[in-house]
């Protein structure tokens, strides 16, 4: 299986690339900066240069050609302003979903955010971010050609993963390690029965594999 990850140099993406290549998958990560290529190669992934803020749907669909799964893990980052929340957290996500559908990719995983809501009020940067993520999620739900799953982690930490989580439609706020987010994404890749679900994720007591099987109805 070929898997293409948008935001390939992100902290979650690099962790996910290591997990997926360890499972024997062919993984490509989309990056804007060629200097990041070696980090992806060390994680076992193929670096692909592309700026999702300016690329066309046709160009990105070409990158996704032959992939069976697409993962959107890109983000404007905490230091960015409101403009890039729109161009990356919304615009690039919409573009990536449209390109995946055009390329015939079936499985699509969206790394969203707890609290994402296209109608979220407020004008602070984080308010704009939550609206942007919500709009991207809403758009993905309209892509009938994709078997999508939306993952909404709580507050991200760099603590070592425990492999024990809470994964439900509504968990309420809480922390979760980036290690465990990556582990859940890897498991979701192998669990297409979670298609059509929007899931919140925080630390908990249930092993990742069991939690994913539970929400899949297995």
User: What are the residue numbers of the active site?
Assistant: 129
Torsion of CA 37, 178, 211, 209, to 10 degrees: 40
Question: Quick one: which H or E segment has residue 97?
Answer: helix 93-103
Query: How far is 66 from 63, CA to CA, in rounded Å?
Result: 8
Q: What is the DSSP letter of 192?
A: G
Q: Is 114 helix (H, G, I), strand (E, B) or coil?
A: coil
Helices (H) and strands (E) in the chain, counts: 8, 11
Query: How far is 63 from 70, CA to CA, in rounded Å?
Result: 11
Cα three-residue angle 112-76-134, rounded to 5 degrees: 30
Q: Regarding beta strands 2-6 and 69-72, do their DSSP bridges make them parallel or antiparallel, or are they unpaired? A: parallel
Strand partners, 118: none
Instruction: Tell me if 94 sits within 8 A of 141, measured CB to CB.
Output: no
């Amino acid at each position: 299986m070929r898997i293409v990850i948008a935001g390939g140099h992100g902290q979650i993406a690099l962790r996910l690339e290591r997990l997926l290549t360890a499972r024997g998958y062919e993984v490509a990560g989309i990056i804007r900066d060629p200097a990041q290529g070696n980090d992806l190669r060390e994680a076992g992934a193929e670096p692909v240069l592309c700026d999702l803020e300016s690329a066309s749907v046709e160009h990105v669909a070409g990158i996704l050609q032959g992939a069976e799964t697409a993962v959107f893990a890109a983000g404007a980052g905490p230091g960015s302003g409101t403009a890039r929340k729109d161009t990356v957290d919304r615009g690039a996500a919409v573009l990536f979903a449209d390109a995946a559908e055009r390329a015939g990719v079936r499985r699509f995983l969206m790394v969203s955010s707890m609290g994402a809501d296209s109608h979220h009020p407020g004008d602070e940067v984080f308010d704009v971010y939550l609206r942007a993520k919500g709009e991207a999620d809403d758009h993905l739900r309209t892509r009938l050609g994709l078997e999508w799953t939306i993952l909404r982690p709580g507050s991200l930490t760099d603590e070592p993963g425990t492999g024990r989580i809470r994964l439900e439609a509504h968990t309420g706020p809480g922390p979760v390690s980036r290690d465990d987010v990556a582990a859940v994404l890897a498991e979701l890749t192998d669990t297409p029965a979670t298609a059509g679900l929007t899931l919140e994720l925080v630390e908990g007591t249930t092993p990742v594999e069991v939690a994913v099987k539970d929400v899949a109805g297995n």
